[in-house]
Amino acid sequence: MLTFLVWCLLFVLCWPIAIMALILYPMVWLILLPVKLLGGAVAGIFAFFLFFIFLPFYLLKKIVHA
């Protein structure tokens, strides 16, 4: 909602820049989409490795508290 209000303010102050932003925003989003997907994949791989690193401690904790 705040983004829309800022865009409306920009439209009132300088409408050519507001229209340009409206057109360029989806293009920039599409260009950055592969980077976002790659970041999610790398974060998933790190979480997977972290799980296996902490698995012995988790199992030991379950055994001790059982």
Distance CA 40, CA 46 (A): 10
In total, how many domains does the chain have? 1
Q: 51 is in which domain, residue-wise?
A: 2-64
- Looking up tokens 């690193």 gives 53
C-alpha span between 48 and 56 (Å, rounded): 14
Residue 48: predicted pLDDT: 96
pLDDT, one tens digit for every residue, the chain (66 residues) = 998 999 899 999 999 999 999 999 999 999 999 999 999 999 999 999 999 999 999 999 988 886
DSSP percent split of the chain into helix, strand, coil, nearest 5: 95, 0, 5
| Nearest-10 crossing angle of helices 2-13, 15-64 | 160
pLDDT of residue 19: 93
**Per-residue pLDDT at 65:** 82
Whole-number Å distance between alpha carbons of 13 and 2:
17
